[in-house]
Structure 1
Amino acid sequence: MHGIRCYRYLARSGSVEKAAQALAAEWGTALGAGYDGVSYEQGGIDAAFYAHLLHLGTAQGAAAEDPELLGATGRQMLADWATALGAPDEVLMGRAGLPVRQIADWIARRHGDLAKRVVVLFCREADTYVRDADSQRRERVRDELSDVLERRRPRVVIAHSLGSVVAYETLWHRPVELDVLITLGSPLGLPGAIRDRLSLGPGNEGRIGQRPPGVRRWVNVADIGDVVAIPRDLPAVFPGIDSHYEVSLGVVASHKATRYLAVPEVAAELASLR
């Protein structure tokens, strides 16, 4: 289950099916031996592709990274993010007016321009998903994963970034039997911006933080410098996690899905199922 900035797979391939195939091939290569170029039936991987459902058709290229173009709830999400990252009061002053340029610039000064771009892009796509708990858009995104789960009946779901939010919600709304759920660079525990906007379906609201029903084991991996995986110690607020690994992917690649997939901890978890 992919994260942000994946619409480009569709733009290159021309169809959702081909985009999913390209993503699965890339992730398979990152996972290494036994997955690269191997069909699902032979133990390979499949992908649930949903980027087109969150694509607003606006703000391309550099404009997509402009915090001023975020909507009201996206600006609030950015402020929540800066708070979690430790922004001082003077940066958040006038929070009601959400001085997004000032907040984004603080993130750049503290964590670098790449981190700022990642956070702004995340706020754009994540806010589109979580803005309305009952939106058709949100339900259709969950449907994409549900369709793959029903069709393929996998043993493992690997979910990166925003995809971990989608996967977590989907596995509550429509439980399936899984050996393991692996979340990578997950923002699930971010106060306000994500955790407080999660939708687990009727009767499940009070179960946020628990392991989804049907999932036998939940593994989380967070890079020590990943500004999206906030808070990094996710088990502190999601006690349903069985194993948590902190890794170092390097400054430039601290949120990159393929780098997360290539860490020994992921390989070991998958190898244990063979």
Structure 2
Amino acid sequence: MIVGVHGIRCYRYLAKEGTAERAAEALAAEWAAALGMPLSAAYYAQLLHLGATQGADEPELLPPDAQRMLMDWVSALGAPAEVTMGHGTLPVRQAASWLAERFGGAARQFVIAFCREADTYVADHGSPRRAAAREEVLRVLELARPRAVVAHSLGSVVAYEALWHRPVELDLLVTMGSPLGMPQVFFERLSLGEGNEEHKGQRPPGVRRWVNIADVGDIVALPRDLPSRFPGIDAHHEVSLGLVTSHKATRYLARPEIARELAPLLSAPDDQ
């Protein structure tokens, strides 16, 4: 059994399917088709959804912490100092413009949407929404008792925290397009639970093997060399998915590196 943990912009599954249960089934079917293997999904998008926001593509309308996240993100991407300096809302607009010039308009829209949703999760260690997202992932893991978890994007942050807060026995954790090590944006904000903060960067205690995969052009997977901040990673694969789809979950799932990592678990007897 494999469980997938999704990233941002997955509320659309609920909007289409009507219930979280059916949304999870739809997402799982899409991921399983890309992976070529059966898969269940832990679905938490509704827990971070704040509703439609007028002018959602405007960086100035992001909450203050999300604006700071965007600024730290473009800094990690190599934006010059003049882009991230200034007064009032000018820097965040400059940062968004720099993103569009450097990576295209789609990247600008994606990063703004990512910051809105990710800030809802990481802004407050004690946030009920943050705890609820972790608990939903743990609920599915404890029910399904999978041998492996594949976690994409923000889902890798949710899964990593969940597996520290309440360890679950897993043969394999695969993180795809993970921002776990992004300075100021995620790494310093990780919440591993009481007594675990000193273990930040290590493999979660119930996980036997941790594999990370990152596209060379993925603007979310920063730093690209995640083991430099997370020595608990056992294997790291850098791949090329193509410029347009460099962060798409299904493109990561279709990579042969992931199939090779999962194959031994699927062929081995399940004694759990």
TM range (shorter): over 0.9
Work out whether 1:93 is the aligned partner of 2:85: yes
Work out whether 1:45 is the aligned partner of 2:49: no
Work out whether 1:261 is the aligned partner of 2:265: no
Work out whether 1:4 is the aligned partner of 2:8: yes
Give the Cα separation in 2 of the matches to 1:110 and 1:142.
34
CA contact (8 A) 2:60 2:89 kept: no
Give the Cα separation in 1 of the matches to 2:61 and 2:231.
36
Work out whether 1:57 is the aligned partner of 2:61: no
Deviates more, 1:92-101 or 1:103-112: 92-101
Partner SS, residue 183 of structure 2: coil
CA contact (8 A) 2:215 2:221 kept: yes
CA contact (8 A) 1:76 1:98 kept: no
Aligned to 2:270: none
Aligned to 1:152: 144
Aligned to 2:202: 210
* Cα root mean square deviation, aligned: 1.2
CA contact (8 A) 1:142 1:166 kept: yes
Aligned to 1:39: none
Change in Cα spacing, 1:220 to 1:72, as seen in structure 2 (3 Å) is same
Partner SS, residue 215 of structure 1: coil
Match for residue 126 of structure 2 among 122, 134, 137: 134
CA contact (8 A) 2:84 2:92 kept: no
Partner SS, residue 249 of structure 1: coil
Aligned to 2:174: 182
Give the Cα separation in 2 of the matches to 1:98 and 1:155.
48
CA contact (8 A) 2:44 2:133 kept: yes
Stretches of structure 2 that go unaligned for 5 or more consecutive residues are 268-272
Give the Cα separation in 2 of the matches to 1:246 and 1:73.
31
CA contact (8 A) 1:176 1:215 kept: yes
CA contact (8 A) 1:161 1:228 kept: yes
Give the Cα separation in 2 of the matches to 1:249 and 1:211.
26
Letter in 2 for 1:79: M
Give the Cα separation in 2 of the matches to 1:95 and 1:56.
28
Change in Cα spacing, 1:89 to 1:213, as seen in structure 2 (3 Å) is same
Give the Cα separation in 1 of the matches to 2:60 and 2:241.
30
Aligned to 1:247: 239
Give the Cα separation in 2 of the matches to 1:74 and 1:98.
15
Work out whether 1:169 is the aligned partner of 2:131: no
Aligned to 2:28: 24
Stretches of structure 1 that go unaligned for 5 or more consecutive residues are 36-43
- 1:100 Cα offset (Å): 1.0
Give the Cα separation in 1 of the matches to 2:139 and 2:222.
29
Letter in 2 for 1:220: N
- Which ranges of 4 or more aligned residues in structure 1 deviate by more than 3 Å? 95-98
- 1:272 Cα offset (Å): 2.3
- 1:97 Cα offset (Å): 5.5
